[in-house]
Amino acid sequence: MIAQETSIVFLSDAPPMENGGFGNSAVAFSVAKALDGDIRLILTRQHHWRNVKSGISGGLKVRTILFSDLSGVRGLRALSPVLRSCLDSLLFLAQIPTLLRELQGCRAKYIVALCGNDPFFLINAILLARFSRLALVFYMVDDFEASALMEGKWVRAHFFRAIEKFLLPKVDKVCVISAGYARLLKEKYGVNASLLPLPIRYPKINYSKARFDNNSRTIAFSGSVNALYKHALRNLCDVLDERNRQGEKWKVLFLGKANTQRVRDLIGNYAFIEAEFPASNVELVARLSECFVCFLPYSDTQNQAIRTMIQTAFPCKISEYFASGRPILAYAPQTSTIFEYFFTHKLPLCATTKYELNQALSKLKDYDSETLISAYQQVIAETHSPEAIRRFLNSLK
């Protein structure tokens, strides 16, 4: 058993930030918020030079220590990410004696380490666990190899795979964000990873009534328009364009950092596309709650790296979608984590083809009810709540 008493040091490569942040800051905040009463100490770094230190761990009642990294050194930004990560790990090694003194005072039982797509942070976590003699739970949310391949970095991908193959068996317990990711690690390395669902910071959600602008219905999408979503978003806009030509009134609202023209350049020059940048997470949820439906896509593609990502990554935007109190329309291949999630929890409105997407749009009114939001609430309570996460951590062997 890892521990019957949940007492944690939370080690995160991206700093927990309620608003803004780069990398997995939002995921780190959700984990820290869900386990707020069980975390004795947060160890993290600035991670990206644009992360404002004053915003790190805001809203959390946990002592936080920022260990030094090289993100603020401008002269090193021209170096390759691998070399920068290697230098950061060397700097982390030099700080371990100081961090060990902090760990001795917090009386934690084990370390939960959250890692994005930087395998060098796996090295950091293992070293800290070995020197502190604490058990290590390593939480993975992005496949290292697939992330590198998506960027066309073949050499880096092979290097990352070698690191994983050598180090993952040395971790006390590997946890992953999706069942698909667990299957991949078993297939690649023989590692028995456990599913640790995304902690959701919103314990209670309420049904929100949609607002209609001139009888038009707004579909909201939160996040960046990248390769994981682009093709699916284009299919959505194609379907809506045809429906609008037939006299219906649909709009798509992109809530992210890209402006309207940038989104139209990426998706298509549709007049019904609009974009906004919410200033905070609270503003994002409020804006989502005003829309007719929240769109949760993954693209169907022949690119192997992207296919691996949609089979292993989990869309963390679902946290804000749930909180909005509005229906969620999923559109993803049957091999994706999104489809598996909706199928497992028996949630409606999950399309796998363009035809099914069009059909789902016609059925949205039938599911716009408190009954659906209650079903979402049950899924959160059983799978994503702080109580569910604690039960999981206490059951680890």
- The Cα–Cα gap between 352 and 334 comes to 6
Q: Where do the CATH 3.40.50.2000 domains begin and end in the chain?
A: 8-199+386-395, 217-368
From 243, 178, 195, 197, select the one nearest 216 (Cα to Cα): 243
CATH code for residues 217-368: 3.40.50.2000
Q: For 105-163, how does the pLDDT look when each residue is reduced to its tens digit (9 = 90+)?
A: 888 888 999 988 788 899 999 999 999 999 999 999 989 899 889 888 898 899 999 99
Which band of pLDDT confidence, cut at 50, 70 and 90, is reported for residue 16?
A: confident
Q: For 17-45, how does the pLDDT look when each residue is reduced to its tens digit (9 = 90+)?
A: 877 666 688 888 888 887 877 889 999 98
* Cβ atoms 182, 194 nearer than 8 A: yes
Q: How much is the mean pLDDT over the chain? A: 89
Is the pLDDT reported for residue 384 higher than 50?
A: yes
- Cα 145 to Cα 12, 115, 117, 298, 356: the distances in Å are 20, 14, 8, 19, 32
Least confident interval from 142-151, 165-174, 207-216, 262-271: 207-216
CATH code for residues 8-199+386-395: 3.40.50.2000
